[in-house]
Every structure is written in C-alpha cells, then in structure tokens.
Amino acid sequence: MLTRQRETVEKQLAAASSTRTEAKWRWVAEYHNRFVQHWIPENPSLLLEAGKKRSISLL
C-alpha cells in the first residue's frame, strides 16, 4: 500500500499544474515520509524526494 501511495504522490507532483497544487502534494509527500521514518525506518525505499521539482514557500 505504501509503495502505491509513493508512486501516486510522485505522479501527482510531476503533473502539478500550479504551485498551489504542487504545495498540497508536497505536504502529502512530507507526511508520507514522516510516517515511513517513524513506523518503518528499515525501509528507506518507501521515502519520497519531495523537494526536487522547485522550491515553494508555504505561507
């Protein structure tokens, strides 16, 4: 399930058409990563690299 979630978030981040939409998906990616780091730290392959596309300032 977490692999599917990671793939979905990656696709949505790549397809984001606005900075607002991308910011929302980056939030989901960060939440996903925190969950994985806390509950499944032995499986880092489930982590997302959410910050690759561009920098977003969340206000």
SS3 of residue 56 by DSSP: coil
Q: What is the per-residue pLDDT across 19-28, written as a single tens digit (0 to 9) for each?
A: 999 999 999 9
* Number of residues in the chain: 59
Predicted local distance difference test score (pLDDT) of residue 49? 79
| Alpha carbons 1 and 21: distance in angstroms, whole number | 23
Q: Does the residue 51 lie in any domain?
A: no
Q: Please give the helix or strand (H or E) that residue 30 lies within, else none.
A: helix 19-39
Q: With respect to residue 11, please indicate whether it lies within any of the assigned structural domains.
A: yes
Domain assignment of residue 35, yes or no: yes
- Report the predicted TM-score, pTM, of the whole model to 2 decimal places: 0.76
> Could you give phi then psi for residue 8, rounded to 5 degrees?
-65, -45
Write down the pLDDT at residue 57. Answer: 46
pLDDT tens track for 7-56:
999 999 999 999 999 999 999 999 999 999 999 999 989 998 755 554 44
For residue 58, tell me if it sits in a domain. no
Domain span at residue 8 reads: 2-46
